[in-house]
Amino acid sequence: MNSRLPSIGLLLALVTAFLWALQPILLVKIMQSLDPFTVTFFRFAIAGFCLCCYLLVRGNVYEVKLIRSSVTIMQLLTAGSLLAANYGLCIVGLSLTTPEATNIIMQLSPMLLLLAGIWVFDEPFSQVQWVGTGVMFVGLTMFFENRIDGFVSLDENYTLGVLLVTASAVSWVGYAILQKKLLAQFSSHQTMAIFFLIGGLIFLPLADTSSLVTLDESGFLLVVVAGLITLIAYICFAQSLIETDASRVSAVIALTPLVTLLAMQFVNIKGMDSEPITGSSIVGAMLVVCGSVMVSALDRGS
């Protein structure tokens, strides 16, 4: 049995959270030139191409060729489709809301994954970690209290965006559960290569690939960076699930919206406003960090 490295798993989860936090800001900028489905196709295509090249060089494609189980094939197709749904629903929802609102709603994902880690994978969870989870919820509420009115907005586009991002969050949890099961048979690189290819095929008919030639150098570079972030973030996420428990990974990923809010204070993109940092939000941020540390504590007890 392979030994696990929880500290490495938590570090990879932290890298994932950081990249996912910056991603919606980058996507808003790209969508000023490309439509959401085209952006999503190129993200999958670039990430899938890079990863397949890596696997071919390493000679790690042979196990995938030997797949014979119909159950495994169905799990791979379902997981890839759920990830594609996550990407598509999220980016369309992002176009109707804001990066902050998108990442707030996406916190449903790590919380649901946390529960899945307990109920689906029978992972242990101590009383201290339950308290930490409560602290995280209180902290997030305080940090985003100035956004609460936005969620009851009568703006139909905004409301639709909220619903789409919520559906995206649920899709992501289904993907993550299947991903963890598949990691018992394949490496994280192999599963993600398959998922990226499935996603690329799903969005190809919806994408306007010819629009890529209309981009200037900076626009083209942003598309490439978005694809590379997609690749690096999900490889880190998949590997973190191997090294440590899903509940710990979900706790670290809960830091994502805080990084987004802080990053928004330092960027200036036309049509994208930043949230004010108040005393309440600062306290909320500290509570989220403390709660995340409590949930992710290496010494979990019996």
pTM above 0.85, yes or no: no
Cα separation, 5 vs 163, in Å, equals 37
**What's the one-letter identity of residue 24?**
P
Cα separation, 16 vs 18, in Å, equals 5
Cα separation, 252 vs 245, in Å, equals 11
Q: Tokens 């759920």 belong to which residue?
A: 82
Cα separation, 251 vs 235, in Å, equals 18
3-state class (DSSP) for residue 158: helix
In this predicted structure, what is the pLDDT of residue 299?
44
Cα separation, 113 vs 175, in Å, equals 10
Cα separation, 28 vs 117, in Å, equals 32
In this predicted structure, what is the pLDDT of residue 296?
62
Q: Would you list the domain boundaries of the chain?
A: 6-295
Cα separation, 190 vs 100, in Å, equals 32
Contact present, 250 and 173 (Cβ < 8 Å): no
Per-residue pLDDT in tens (0 to 9) along the chain, 302 residues: 456 788 898 899 899 989 988 898 899 889 988 999 999 999 999 999 998 888 888 876 656 666 778 888 999 999 999 999 999 999 999 888 878 778 777 877 767 777 777 777 677 777 887 888 888 788 877 876 765 655 555 567 777 888 899 899 999 889 988 988 888 888 878 888 899 999 999 999 999 989 988 888 999 999 999 999 988 987 888 788 888 887 778 778 777 877 887 777 776 666 565 556 677 877 877 787 787 767 765 444 43
